[in-house]
Amino acid sequence: MFEPLTLSAALFLASSSLVQERSGLLDAVRIAERTTRGQVMEVEAESGSSGRLNYELEVLVGGEIRELRIDSRSGRITTTSTNKLVSWVRNLFASDRTMRDFKPLSAIIVGLEKQSGGTVTEVEFEDDDHHLHYQIDISTSAGSASLYIDPISGQRLGFALED
The pLDDT-based confidence of 95 (bands split at 50, 70, 90) is: low
Q: What is the pLDDT of residue 121?
A: 95
CA 126 to chain centre: 13
Q: Which of 24, 97, 10 is nearest to 56 (CA)?
A: 24
List of domains in the chain: 16-161 (3.10.450.40)
Lowest mean pLDDT among 20-29, 60-69, 132-141, 145-154: 20-29
* Sheet bearing 131-140, strands edge to edge: 77-84, 64-71, 53-61, 39-47, 119-128, 131-140, 143-149, 156-161
Q: Work out the angle between the directed axes of helices 7-22 and 24-36 (0-180°, nearest 10).
A: 10
Q: Over 90: is that where the pLDDT of 135 sits?
A: yes
Measured CA to CA, the distance from residue 39 to residue 99 in angstroms comes to 7
- Three-class SS of residue 106? helix
Q: Are strands 39-47 and 131-140 parallel, antiparallel or unpaired?
A: unpaired
Average pLDDT score over residue span 51-73: 89
The pLDDT-based confidence of 83 (bands split at 50, 70, 90) is: confident
